[in-house]
Amino acid sequence: MSNIRPSSAATSRAPGLRQTLDALATRRTTAVALTEQVLESAEDCKRCVNAFSVIDWDRALKAAADSDLRYAKGEQRPLEGLPFGVKDLIDTKDVETRYGSAAYLGHIPTADADVVRQLVEQGAIPIGKTTTHEFAWGVTTASTVYGDTLNPLDRTRIPGGSSGGAAAAIAYGSITAGLGTDTGGSVRIPAAMCGVVGFKPSFGALSTRGVFPLAPTLDHTGLLGESVDDVVLLSAALQLKVPEDDAWVSARLGVVREIAPIPPSPSIASAFGDAIECLDEVFACVELDTSDLFADVYGAFASIVLTEGAIEHFRRNDWDRIVTHYGLETIERLQRAKAVNLRDYARAQETRRGFAANLHRVMSTVDYLVLPTCPCTAPLIDAHSATIGEWSGTVREALMTYTAPFNVAGLPAISIPLAWGGGLPASLQIVAKPGQDGALLQIAQQMELILRARPPANRPAQMQPGAQE
């Protein structure tokens, strides 16, 4: 790999993917020039907020030179020359992939994961690996081995996790889009914390082959982008295409203002309320009573992750290797998993089936659910607990309670940022029925346009996480 090259810090978001493709096609820039610029910005991003674990100059510049030859011959592919980031949980051929763990330092996969290969075959250029929580088993993208990833909007706060590196790199302006994974919110949570877009398609819609598993019955491959359109472009390359009709016009939205027992903070409730007021001018918005719908689902989710995560690690490594090379957080979870019995797992799966059936009944009366992505803004880096209203609990539960249910049910969901007048962003989560991935992206594009057209309201001052709002 080439030496680190100096450059000035990024100061704005990277251009959209379509804009970049147009610049390449009209030869206003070359793939090599663009890729060098992105690599330099990635190095800055790595130094400033630690959003990259590996930056691969050699592979990226070689691919860029090939893209320029294809453009010269008029043989460019749909994504020719577009740089993107790849979460460190996802295999990349001949590029170090650590899965966020010291146990896999120096690990070099021999093949690309399916989703990487699909994008590369269409001309996209992976420029490096974005950071992840160890084995994606966490929501902060913190690491005692590799250092914490910081939120570019406020470097005293987390970027969310476990795809925090991709979200931070996009918010920093180094890349426009990246591949991530989402087992309980790991694409949508960092998107919400960093003010970018995070999309989790229906369970099984994107291949997970070549992705280190966390909990296989909950794992989803996902996408992050600066805008919904960036995600749409990559999704189309992965065979998730947006319909060309205007069916979104008649969409009926089911509004979920909170998921008990965690209320949204005043700033999140205010931003969400403003968004619903705006959307209600275009769509039929129906307030839903979901007071009993989400009962016990988070506990079932946590039990499934603990059981399936333990199985994946115990079948790969013996206990001596685990306690020698894994981080303390992961070791503690695997120690707890030893006490789990099959009855616990069976009970969690039964709760899952009941929840999914009830959710499908609720969604039979609407086309989409809309709710906050997370009930609070980005916590401080060292915060382990949070207090929102009268609720107190772990940061993990605070950030995942509004996202994990849709992994449990396998429904597609997307997080889009809401306009804010300062401080940290709030985000809107849109959830569709199984298999309606393209339709979800279509209505998310429309909502993004509608919400961006409204100037940000004056928000209450952001409070410190853990403070009573």
Mind listing the pLDDT tens digit for each residue in 286-314? 999 998 999 999 999 999 999 999 999 99
Distance CA 462, CA 163 (A): 24
What share of the chain in percent tops pLDDT 90? 91
Tokens for 233, please give them: 């472009």
User: What does the pLDDT look like over 155-211, one tens digit per residue?
Assistant: 999 999 999 999 999 999 999 999 999 999 999 999 999 999 999 999 999 999 999
Helix (H, G, I), strand (E, B) or coil at 281: coil
Which residues contact residue 229 at a Cβ distance below 8 angstroms, ignoring those fewer than 6 apart? 16, 17, 18, 445
Which residues contact residue 369 at a Cβ distance below 8 angstroms, ignoring those fewer than 6 apart? 253, 254, 255, 256, 288, 362, 363, 429, 430, 431
**Alpha-carbon dihedral sign for residues 271, 274, 275, 276:** positive
Q: Does residue 58 register a pLDDT over 60?
A: yes
Q: How confident is the model at residue 14 (pLDDT cuts 50, 70, 90)?
A: confident
User: What does the pLDDT look like over 225-261, one tens digit per residue?
Assistant: 999 999 999 999 999 999 999 989 999 999 999 999 9
pLDDT of residue 420: 63
Distance CA 272, CA 371 (A): 8
pLDDT of residue 169: 98
Q: What is the DSSP letter of 2?
A: P
Distance CA 232, CA 228 (A): 6
Which residues contact residue 343 at a Cβ distance below 8 angstroms, ignoring those fewer than 6 apart? none
Mean pLDDT computed over 202-227: 98
For the purposes of burial, counting CB atoms within 10 Å of the CB of 184, is it exposed (0-12), middle (13-18) or buried (19 or more)? buried
Distance CA 35, CA 83 (A): 7
Taking alpha carbons only, the member of 424, 451, 442 closest to residue 192 is: 424
The answer to whether residues 7 and 42 touch, using CB atoms and an 8 Å cutoff, is no
User: What does the pLDDT look like over 412-423, one tens digit per residue?
Assistant: 999 999 976 568
pLDDT of residue 1: 32
Between the CA of residue 156 and those of 8, 129, 424, what are the distances in Å? 22, 23, 12
Name the segment(s) of the chain with CATH classification 3.90.1300.10. 18-294+354-457
Distance CA 429, CA 376 (A): 13
Q: How confident is the model at residue 13 (pLDDT cuts 50, 70, 90)?
A: confident
pTM: 0.94
Pick the CATH number of 18-294+354-457 from 3.40.50.720, 1.10.3210.10, 3.90.1300.10, 3.40.50.11540: 3.90.1300.10
Q: What is the DSSP letter of 247?
A: G
Q: Does residue 435 register a pLDDT over 90?
A: yes
User: What does the pLDDT look like over 69-109, one tens digit per residue?
Assistant: 999 999 999 999 999 999 999 999 999 999 999 999 999 99
Taking alpha carbons only, the member of 31, 34, 33 closest to residue 15 is: 34
| The residue type at 291 | S
Query: For residue 400, how far is the Cα from the chain centroid?
Result: 12
Mean pLDDT computed over 401-430: 92
Distance CA 190, CA 439 (A): 23
Respond yes or no on whether the N-terminal peptide bond of residue 261 is cis (omega within 30° of 0).
yes
The residue whose two tokens read 């998310």 is 444
Mean pLDDT computed over 12-28: 93
The answer to whether residues 423 and 406 touch, using CB atoms and an 8 Å cutoff, is no
The answer to whether residues 3 and 39 touch, using CB atoms and an 8 Å cutoff, is no
Torsions phi, psi for 337 (to 5 deg):
-65, -25
The answer to whether residues 211 and 164 touch, using CB atoms and an 8 Å cutoff, is no
User: What does the pLDDT look like over 449-465, one tens digit per residue?
Assistant: 999 887 655 443 333 33
pLDDT of residue 468: 34
| The residue type at 151 | N
Q: Does residue 5 register a pLDDT over 50?
A: no
Q: What is the DSSP letter of 295?
A: T
Mean pLDDT over each residue of the chain, to the nearest integer: 93
Tokens for 255, please give them: 């509004």
